[in-house]
Structure 1
């Protein structure tokens, strides 16, 4: 018997084998289907998918035998991976000096062998797709071609499995980093709110206590400082709302929409010439009330802020179709440019319009709205005409859909 020698690039080859994370894994249907197919297609009792480890031949799939590994130094596959041909074939192992006194031949009657090396994209032979028979035989050209083609399919399955594992690792890493970012944003935002509140109060104290000693320019500086502090405080609040929007619980409430809208209008304390049209039918809604409140509060608030008309009109509708509540909020405001419609829900994406008070948006609110709509099982879209109107349409799935 001649022990198969190691390839010259054995260290790199072993690294490639281990990169697929297949060694010592359980049987998988995709691979077992191939060995089953090969055995029936070529009419042989044994068909294997093997991976050559440092000292053993691991059988990822083994049709016709009960064990899943064997010593590498007695393996036929150890010789097969050294072959420069697409197929390594031994018609009668009893007549080949490489397998004289080989226990596989003597004890397990492994007379015939054919193995197609599993070559990955980097050119490393990982193992084989191989067959055994207990009698001498010769494969037809069609059988040889089938075995080589199926070996390439095995490699494709290896690659697909490896890619899936890598994608899973990337996804887990992104999830981990995203959680870190959320925690960081939350801590920073909470830590900044108190100093900002102190700045706002301090500017009022300075104006009240020293206002008569300050000139107009100094007073304007204090006004600007207070306005900037409020703007930053609002930005931080919106950021916190965004990062907490995906934490919406599954609480389900039953309430009437118009009652909710009346509460929101009171909360907004609207001080502009505005008319808000509620739905004609006071629809009973069953969903997470807090989440829907936040969605409508943001959309109505935007309709108020980004409106250049003397008289603001906001139309709110709600209909029920199949398993969804269908909402829309339409205003007669400044509108959104067509080239911004696709990105308006992206975090930190802004249209560029200034609100009624001359402030620019932070690009957080609509991203938060999208997260909340998604948490309620729905989708959201926007249509707009510059200078005329904007309509946000969104759906909320009825709770029985989740049952």
Structure 2
């Protein structure tokens, strides 16, 4: 599986092509994931936020056209205020070209962005302006079939040195969640 880098489009770079999206969508449907919020995944996301001390944490499943946060932890009020005096609340669904998780899925490996403004490829992403995201740490959820189901990720509104410990922690959390997801499939049990 090769990683197709994003293609330029004016000043912004597009999300990389995701050739596995149709197969992933079918696999997620068979698993009963990616269509509704999961309280256990919300709890998992809350644990990620506590572990890393961030305002945003997600368990994200990507379809062909959008991303769905089946597990989501956000602050009660937006932590960032835009120049027009408003802030945005993160919902459960985002277009595929918003955020950094689609890059994790396409690359099939973790992504560490200490300060997104340091990376022209990511600095123009809509989540930077809409939600004030300045740093990101995410890892793919790769099941035993080799399919990338989605990601676990955390974001902050300030630059952050995640370090090797942060990278190891997010990978460990992703691996633990895949075990739970597959156990659910095998046993037909809730997460």
Say which of 3, 13, 38 aligns to 2:24. Answer: 13
Q: Does 1:36 align with 2:46?
A: yes
Q: Does 1:24 align with 2:47?
A: no
Say which of 83, 105, 108 aligns to 1:81. Answer: 105
CA contact (8 A) 1:34 1:150 kept: no
Residues 114 and 104 from structure 1, CA distance in 2 versus in 1: closer, same or farther, beyond 3 angstroms? same
TM-score under structure 1 normalisation? 0.38
Match of 1:135 in 2: 158
Report deviation, 1:33: 2.6
CA contact (8 A) 2:112 2:167 kept: no
Match of 2:5 in 1: none
- The alignment partner of 2:70 has SS state of strand
Match of 1:163 in 2: 186
- In 2: Cα distance, 1:135 partner to 1:98 partner: 18
Matches within 5 A, 1:197-208: none
Match of 2:78 in 1: none
- Unpaired segments ≥5 residues, structure 2: 1-11, 76-89
Number of corresponding residues = 164
Match of 1:94 in 2: 117
Quote the RMSD (CA, aligned, Å): 1.9
Match of 2:143 in 1: 120
Matches within 5 A, 1:4-403: 4-29=15-40, 31-64=41-74, 67-85=91-109, 87-165=110-188
Q: Which has the higher contact order (CA 8 A, sep 6+)?
A: 2
Q: Which structure 1 residue ranges, 4+ long, deviate > 4 Å from structure 2? A: none
- The alignment partner of 2:155 has SS state of strand
- The alignment partner of 2:28 has SS state of helix
CA contact (8 A) 1:116 1:147 kept: yes
List per-residue Cα deviations over 1:218-250 (Å, max 9, x = no partner): xxxxxxxxxxxxxxxxxxxxxxxxxxxxxxxxx
CA contact (8 A) 1:4 1:78 kept: yes
Report deviation, 1:44: 1.0
- Unpaired segments ≥5 residues, structure 1: 168-403
List per-residue Cα deviations over 1:61-107 (Å, max 9, x = no partner): 1101552111112231111112243x211122123222243221012
Richer in helix (by share) = 1
